[in-house]
């Protein structure tokens, strides 16, 4: 069994400060398989991690998982999905109903492989619940993830599942996973904003 946290940012995101080497050590220690999903770039290539990207589209953010190459942001949702599929990668809808973020998806009428029904950084739980209801209605594989921007957040939420050897097996095992869901302090979002300002300066 392994803890899979499919939504983690490193210092290569403007609002995060996780060092990839520290992340690797931390994940090894706590038996976590991380997906690295930096904002609009695929920079970190790490062993024992799923390579991904949180891509801003014209209608909100989508995560590509198991990517080989980065995907340009600010395309339409359709074009972004095409580019993810071209790489034979998977589509994850992050915090899909969290209207507190300007970056949240504006529509949900596209094919997603996985939906985040719990995101540790969502402030109001009704937005997570809405994602869970949507997943139930549409029969979409669920996950819970930390959306970590700081090392202390990594693994706050995760899917506890059997190990896998292919993307197909990954999806199968994820669909049977036990989701561990723990909220992280709202103050971390403020810390992220401060980091963003500092990096811009
Ligand atoms: Zn994120």
pLDDT tens digits along 86-97? 999 999 999 999
Q: Tell me, in angstroms, the distance from the centre of ligand 1 to residue 7's CA.
A: 6
Provide the CATH topology of domain 2-200.
TIM Barrel (3.20.20)
pLDDT tens profile 144-182: 999 999 999 999 999 999 999 999 999 999 999 999 999
pTM for this prediction: 0.96
| Paired sense of beta strands 32-39 and 50-57, if any | parallel
Asked whether residue 197 carries a pLDDT value surpassing 90, the answer given is: yes
Q: Tell me, in angstroms, the distance from the centre of ligand 1 to residue 47's CA.
A: 21
DSSP assignments along 21-78, one per residue? HHHHHHHHHHTEEEEEEEET------TTSEEEEEEEETTEEEEEES-SS---SSB-HH
Q: Tell me, in angstroms, the distance from the centre of ligand 1 to residue 108's CA.
A: 17
- Using DSSP's 3-state secondary structure scheme, residue 143 falls into strand
pLDDT at 201: 83
Place of tokens 């994940």: 27
């Amino acid at each position: 069994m392994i803890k899979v946290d499919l939504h983690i940012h490193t210092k290569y995101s403007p609002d995060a400060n996780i060092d990839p080497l520290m992340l690797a050590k931390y994940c090894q220690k706590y038996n976590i398989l991380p997906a690295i999903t930096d904002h609009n770039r695929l920079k970190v290539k790490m062993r024992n991690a799923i390579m991904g990207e949180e891509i801003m589209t014209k209608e909100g953010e989508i995560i590509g998982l198991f990517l080989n190459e980065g995907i340009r942001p600010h395309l339409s949702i359709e074009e972004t999905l095409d580019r993810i599929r071209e790489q034979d990668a998977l589509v994850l809808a992050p915090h899909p109903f969290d209207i507190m973020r300007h970056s949240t998806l504006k529509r949900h009428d596209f094919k997603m492989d996985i939906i985040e029904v719990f995101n540790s950084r969502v402030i109001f739980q009704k937005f997570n619940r809405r994602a869970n209801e949507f997943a139930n209605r549409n029969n979409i594989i669920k996950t819970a993830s930390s959306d970590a921007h700081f090392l202390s957040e990594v693994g706050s939420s995760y899917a506890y599942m059997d190990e896998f050897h292919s993307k197909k097996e990954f999806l199968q095992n994820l669909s049977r996973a036990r989701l561990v869901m723990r909220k992280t302090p709202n103050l971390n979002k403020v810390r992220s904003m401060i980091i963003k300002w500092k990096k811009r300066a």
